[in-house]
């Protein structure tokens, strides 16, 4: 086993994983890159007739390239999504105080009654957002920009957890929790994986991810105040010291 703590990271296998590896190495731990999400674009683009358009991820912004927002009020779920939108030439009108579906509903509920609201996101978006906007009186349309699946080669961290050789795990979405445990179940080592995680430090990027973990009987040790990867990584590594 490595002298430095082994920390599993589940981000997609693109620049986000590269940045995560660099950050973890700077924190003097050994990254275990194990992408739990694969992005499959649908080819769809957001509608252009909505009064409000909501983008819920950097990936969604990138896949909407070439889309013309027109007069819509553009809402980004958080700073990284907003930065990507602005880099793409879009002007972001609103970022909620809480970077979650519930945060979006709270920020918009008082201003969308009778309005068309376009929600452009993945196929695994939370119903909290669409249900909440509908309850606020909006006419909601959802466009699926991409599907999220499990990569065929995922699972190194699952095996390490089963062997008791994983020191920490950084869950960055509800789906990463679900896919991680699904792999454990498929390989017939779920009991061993759960024991391994119980001995490790488990971090969740925000409350929705932590709630998913809890619903699957997985204990979470760390939820950072800010729902971003750097905050998650630093908080979990601090627990390892």
Residue 100 CA to chain centroid, in angstroms?
10
Residue limits of CATH 3.40.50.10090 in the chain: 6-37+155-239, 42-148
Measure the CA–CA gap between 103 and 78, rounded to whole angstroms. Answer: 10
Measure the CA–CA gap between 37 and 214, rounded to whole angstroms. Answer: 20
Query: pTM higher than 0.85, yes or no?
Result: no
Measure the CA–CA gap between 40 and 20, rounded to whole angstroms. Answer: 21
Range 108-114 average pLDDT:
97
Q: Provide the CATH number for the domain formed by 6-37+155-239 in this structure.
A: 3.40.50.10090
Measure the CA–CA gap between 228 and 231, rounded to whole angstroms. Answer: 6
Binned at pLDDT 50, 70 and 90, residue 182 comes out as: very high
Measure the CA–CA gap between 177 and 64, rounded to whole angstroms. Answer: 27
Q: What's the pLDDT score for residue 70?
A: 86
Q: What's the pLDDT score for residue 134?
A: 97
Q: How confident is the model over 59-102, as pLDDT tens digits?
A: 999 998 889 988 999 999 999 899 999 999 999 999 999 888 99
Give strand ranges (E) for the chain: 6-9, 30-33, 38-41, 52-55, 73-76, 116-122, 139-149, 168-171, 201-204
Residue of 31, 57, 32, 61 lying closest to 46 (CA atoms): 61
Q: Is the separation of the CB atoms in 97 and 121 below 8 Å?
A: no
Q: What's the pLDDT score for residue 69?
A: 87
Q: What's the pLDDT score for residue 100?
A: 87
The yes-or-no verdict on residue 194 having pLDDT over 90 is: yes
Q: Which two tokens stand for residue 189?
A: 């080592």
Q: What's the pLDDT score for residue 43?
A: 94
The yes-or-no verdict on residue 156 having pLDDT over 80 is: yes
Instruction: Please give the DSSP secondary-structure letter assigned to residue 92.
Output: P
Q: What's the pLDDT score for residue 226?
A: 84
Binned at pLDDT 50, 70 and 90, residue 6 comes out as: very high
Instruction: Please give the DSSP secondary-structure letter assigned to residue 222.
Output: B
Secondary structure class of 197 (helix, strand, coil): helix
Secondary structure class of 72 (helix, strand, coil): coil
Measure the CA–CA gap between 109 and 32, rounded to whole angstroms. Answer: 41
Q: Provide the CATH number for the domain formed by 42-148 in this structure.
A: 3.40.50.10090
Q: What's the pLDDT score for residue 110?
A: 96
Q: What's the pLDDT score for residue 90?
A: 93
Question: Per mean pLDDT, which range of 130-134, 136-140, 225-229 is the poorest?
Answer: 225-229
Residues whose CB falls within 8 Å of the CB of residue 159, separated by 6 or more in sequence, listed in order: 187, 189
Secondary structure class of 238 (helix, strand, coil): helix
Q: To 10 degrees, the CA torsion angle through 132, 134, 136, 142? A: 80
Range 162-170 average pLDDT:
97
Residue of 233, 196, 194 lying closest to 217 (CA atoms): 194
Q: What is the mean pLDDT of the chain?
A: 94
Q: Which two tokens stand for residue 96?
A: 């909620």
The yes-or-no verdict on residue 212 having pLDDT over 90 is: yes
Range 20-34 average pLDDT:
96
């Amino acid at each position: 086993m490595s002298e430095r703590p082994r920390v599993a990271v589940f981000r997609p296998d693109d620049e986000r994983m590269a940045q995560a590896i660099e950050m973890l190495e700077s924190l003097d731990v050994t990254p275990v890159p194990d992408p739990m999400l694969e992005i499959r674009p649908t080819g769809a683009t957001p509608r252009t007739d909505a009064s409000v358009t909501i983008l819920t991820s950097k990936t969604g912004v990138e896949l909407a390239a070439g889309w013309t927002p027109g007069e819509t009020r553009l809402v980004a779920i958080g700073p990284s999504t907003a930065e990507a939108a602005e880099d793409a030439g879009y002007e972001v009108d609103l970022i909620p105080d809480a970077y979650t579906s519930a945060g979006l509903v709270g920020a918009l509920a008082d201003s969308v009654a009778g309005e068309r609201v376009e929600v452009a996101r993945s196929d695994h978006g939370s119903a909290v957002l669409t249900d909440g906007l509908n309850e606020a009186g909006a006419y909601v349309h959802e466009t699926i920009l991409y599907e999220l699946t499990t990569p065929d080669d995922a699972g190194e961290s699952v095996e390490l957890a089963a062997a008791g050789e994983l020191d920490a795990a950084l869950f960055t979405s509800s789906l990463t929790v679900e896919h991680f445990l699904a792999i454990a179940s498929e390989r017939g080592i779920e009991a061993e994986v759960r024991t391994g995680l119980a001995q490790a430090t488990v971090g969740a990027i925000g409350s929705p991810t932590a709630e998913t973990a809890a619903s699957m009987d997985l204990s979470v040790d760390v939820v950072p105040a800010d729902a971003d990867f750097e905050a998650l990584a630093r908080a979990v590594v601090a627990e390892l010291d």
